[in-house]
Structure 1
Amino acid sequence: MQSLAIIGSQWGDEGKGKITDLLGAKCDVVVRYQGGNNAGHTIIVGDKKIVLHLIPSGVLHSHCVSVIGHGVVFDPEAFAKELKTVEGAGITLTRENLKISENCSIITFYNKLLDGQREAKGPVKIGTTGKGIGPCYEDKISRKGIKLKDIFDLENLKQKLAANLIEKEALFKNLYQCEYPSVDEEAARLFELGHAIKQFATDTFSFLDKSVSENKKVLYEGAQGVLLDIDYGTYPFVTSSSTSCGGVYTGAGVPGKTINEVLGITKAYTTRVGEGPFPTELFDSTGEFIQNKGHEFGATTGRKRRCGWLDLPLLKYTVKASNLTSIALTKLDILSGMDELKVCYAYEYNGEKIDCAYPGIDLSKVKPLYKDLTPFKDEFKTDSLSGELESYIKEIETFIGIPVGIIAYGPERSEIKFRKDYF
């Protein structure tokens, strides 16, 4: 196998970081292809905890080249801080092992300000991180965006920022009545930040094309999850990028190339951060128990994650929507030892019973139907699993039609078991 995409199969926060880290050790190239610093991948290495927001997990392996593709929206200030954190952990980054697409869209201060004002003063709260992700993608689609290559030329940057600010200025002055930096101030800030970034800026399209042609082993690392995809997710409570497998082709730059394996990272239960419908959400002591035992707090914002039983109709949908070929089932240790164990196997919706969600379904109006399973009490001290846990895994595999290739039962690299060979 030469290529693998790692996709979140739920609403994000499934534990993609440590899986990417382990599989990245077997790869030549790791590519981040969408989203921005609104995502956080937490990786535990020995006694060190590293949270990556923009930089791909491949940087933890000296033989691996990490690539930030043009589908990523890039905050230069956030990158500068993360660069210091990574280098402070003893990891050396150079142009040879970290490459950032010159065509990445830049998150400006105006994007972040607009994001925050909308969430604070707008009629509907989406539950954004306030990092400016959505407004930056808006600039990109409306053809007014700032690209990474633009911040290396001060006069050109000023011209583009002036054109970019025209509409936003009306909103800042008249609707939100907030202060904002001048074009000269914002241009100077971005230009200064560009000094530390320029060494990494490159033509990543050609680099990846060459890597694939030379049969390099390439891993594509996604952020968030399919249920937050701008097209496939629970709109409007979604992110602003293509979090499904389709985002690899548009955001990394490998159109027409075959991806051999699409691995969906799946929590053994379901969580969600922020607003939006959540059919299996638990509002009782069981939900609170899962939240506390699972340390369910966002890596980027620290917000509590809402918790509920595993939702199989949604999981079957993401398998189809993102062409998943196997899944990694994470955080099984959190469910171990519970007095009860349930999965949602279908919905009652508009007078019908359905076992697979679809785009546009109003999840706030579905009634989840549950199946009781025998709880498992595994301590994961040996390679063998209990019959109860094997039955839980088999229930999932049979329902979604693809295998569980990996199980994870803790944050450490050692607490992962491969049931399938990758690379």
Structure 2
Amino acid sequence: MSIQAQAVIGALYGDEGKGLMVDRLAAATPGGVVVRSNGGAQAGHTVVDPAGRRHVFHHIGSGSFAGASTHFSRFFVAHPMLFLDELSALNERGAKPQISSDPRALITTPFDILINQAVELARGAARHGSCGLGFGETIERNLQPQFALSTKDLFRPDLHARLVSIRDSWVPGRLAALGIAALPEELAAVLADEITIAGFEADCAAYLDHVTLWPDRRLCERGAVIFEAAQGLCLDQNRGAFPHVTRSNTGLANIRAIAAEAGVTELDALYATRCYTTRHGAGPLKGEVPTLLGVNVVDPTNAPNEWQGSLRLAPLDLFTLREAIADDLTSDRSGIAVKAGLAVTCLDQTEDGFAVTDQEEVIRLDPAKAAPDIAGLVGLPLWAESWGPRRRDVKLYLEAAVASLTTQ
């Protein structure tokens, strides 16, 4: 029996409209489950709810307003300190998603955040572009078994002792390895305060009240699967420009591993891109310009902040887009049949005369025909295009394939 799943993947540097696409697919897939395949709370996937209010999803799947449940895969990094606020905000808007987690999903502690922020502050103008939420440091700490902390470990009777060990042994050693001789005063106070651990333990207990342990291998029992990737292909730890990358696999690698474990046999991979390029944080950005001609950029989510600065802009470079997707598609598929298509977003922000590039060639596009033109030049079928921030603004050309999910 064939088991089909969908995946939404950012094709460049993140912020491509993944949340919008997941919301649209979830609305077309009653009873679906959105699977977070990488990343953690540093993700920021924006969805406009049915009442017109914006919500930025960090943990919980972006299909929640469409009634989808959420699953945290073994590659996801959960952040109990931020989780409850997000869940509360969703509940206030009428979304009450059922949430499950693979027992192997990692857990961010306050000490991972502390180290992350201390290192970025020490770098000054040479910051790597981290969000300051401890994601990469969580990955690093979990490479050491004696300091590892996954979701299943939150049930351990010695949880408190393990957190004390992380604070008293891991943190000093890690800071020394990073060349940090002394913490800034405010971070040192957090490290020394006993309330830090007590508060975190309370957050973990509350987290477990809302999250059911469920192994990835039984994922398809939860409903039709929609994988929601975080960040973008050009930020992949094995593909992006080091050190300006995320500590995860942002494309098919994690998705196919989860899918193979769950028994998925067919996967539709929807690669999302804006009709221009953005990057939030440090690192190279080909063709970067202060402003884009023919594009009225609207992005209330990526406001300037002390960790990532201001949103950066460039015309969409088709060569970069084409190469990133092609590279992702050549990875080992674990016997899973993969079909790929393109989603082009933010077309409502374009004017006559807007342009994309293909290496050094400038290509001017008619906004009304830009999405199929871009897809054709990239060599993929056009599966979706968006003309605004709401579900109703998305033209989905994958309806037949999506509908088939409910009949498998």
Question: Fold match, TM over 0.5?
Answer: yes
Q: Summarize the alignment of residues 15-414 of structure 1 with structure 2, pairs less than 5 Å apart.
A: 15-25=17-27, 26-27=29-30, 28-45=32-49, 46-62=51-67, 64-93=68-97, 97-122=98-123, 124-143=126-145, 144-153=147-156, 155-159=158-162, 161-163=164-166, 165-170=168-173, 175-178=181-184, 179=188, 180-182=190-192, 185-205=195-215, 208-212=216-220, 216-250=223-257, 254=261, 257-283=264-290, 285-286=291-292, 290=295, 293-295=297-299, 297-298=301-302, 303-323=309-329, 325-337=340-352, 340-346=353-359, 369-376=360-367, 389-390=368-369, 392-414=370-392
Q: Closer, same or farther in 2 for the Cα pair 1:171/1:142, shift >3 Å?
A: closer
Unmatched tracts of structure 2, length 5 or more: 330-338, 403-408
Q: Closer, same or farther in 2 for the Cα pair 1:256/1:92, shift >3 Å?
A: closer
Task: Give the secondary-structure state (helix, strand or coil) at the position aligned to 1:51.
Answer: strand
CA distance in 1, matches of 2:38, 2:78: 10
CA distance in 2, matches of 1:147, 1:70: 9
Would you say the 8 A contact 2:12–2:233 is kept in 1?
yes
The letter for the 1-side match of 2:119 is R
Query: TM-score under structure 2 normalisation?
Result: 0.84
The letter for the 1-side match of 2:13 is W
- Report what 1:362 is aligned to: none
CA distance in 1, matches of 2:181, 2:287: 38
CA distance in 2, matches of 1:154, 1:8: 40
The letter for the 1-side match of 2:55 is I
Q: Deviations over 1:261-295 (max 9, x none)?
A: 00001111111111111112113x436x74x5323
Task: Give the secondary-structure state (helix, strand or coil) at the position aligned to 1:197.
Answer: helix
Q: Deviations over 1:35-68 (max 9, x none)?
A: 1111111111232222211011232233x32111
| Deviation at residue 330 of structure 1 after TM alignment | 0.2
Q: Deviations over 1:52-93 (max 9, x none)?
A: 11011232233x321111211111010011111111112234
Unmatched tracts of structure 1, length 5 or more: 347-368, 377-388
Deviates more, 1:238-247 or 1:256-265: 256-265
The letter for the 2-side match of 1:21 is D
The letter for the 2-side match of 1:188 is A
Would you say the 8 A contact 2:218–2:262 is kept in 1?
no
Would you say the 8 A contact 1:230–1:238 is kept in 2?
yes
Matched pairs, number: 376
The letter for the 2-side match of 1:175 is A
Would you say the 8 A contact 1:249–1:255 is kept in 2?
no
Q: Cα RMSD (Å) of the superposition?
A: 2.7
Q: Deviations over 1:143-184 (max 9, x none)?
A: 332112323345334235405641422455861334143595
CA distance in 1, matches of 2:94, 2:396: 29
CA distance in 1, matches of 2:390, 2:75: 30
Deviates more, 1:218-227 or 1:164-173: 164-173
| Deviation at residue 239 of structure 1 after TM alignment | 1.0
CA distance in 2, matches of 1:250, 1:185: 39
Q: Deviations over 1:398-423 (max 9, x none)?
A: 33211111110111211111233341
Would you say the 8 A contact 2:219–2:262 is kept in 1?
no
Q: Deviations over 1:114-162 (max 9, x none)?
A: 1111111037410111000110011123333211232334533423540
The letter for the 1-side match of 2:134 is G
Q: Closer, same or farther in 2 for the Cα pair 1:185/1:261, shift >3 Å?
A: same
| Deviation at residue 186 of structure 1 after TM alignment | 4.0
CA distance in 2, matches of 1:154, 1:186: 19
Q: Closer, same or farther in 2 for the Cα pair 1:215/1:198, shift >3 Å?
A: closer
| Deviation at residue 394 of structure 1 after TM alignment | 4.2
Q: Closer, same or farther in 2 for the Cα pair 1:125/1:252, shift >3 Å?
A: farther
Q: Closer, same or farther in 2 for the Cα pair 1:142/1:321, shift >3 Å?
A: farther
- Report what 1:364 is aligned to: none
CA distance in 2, matches of 1:135, 1:9: 25
CA distance in 2, matches of 1:404, 1:234: 28
Between the two proteins, what is the percent identity of the paired residues? 25
Q: Closer, same or farther in 2 for the Cα pair 1:89/1:296, shift >3 Å?
A: closer
CA distance in 2, matches of 1:60, 1:48: 11
The letter for the 2-side match of 1:88 is E
The letter for the 2-side match of 1:145 is A
CA distance in 1, matches of 2:104, 2:229: 18
| Deviation at residue 209 of structure 1 after TM alignment | 3.0
Q: Closer, same or farther in 2 for the Cα pair 1:60/1:375, shift >3 Å?
A: closer
Q: Closer, same or farther in 2 for the Cα pair 1:136/1:294, shift >3 Å?
A: same
Q: Closer, same or farther in 2 for the Cα pair 1:121/1:211, shift >3 Å?
A: closer
Task: Give the secondary-structure state (helix, strand or coil) at the position aligned to 2:82.
Answer: helix
Would you say the 8 A contact 1:117–1:176 is kept in 2?
no
Q: Closer, same or farther in 2 for the Cα pair 1:226/1:165, shift >3 Å?
A: farther
Would you say the 8 A contact 1:11–1:271 is kept in 2?
yes
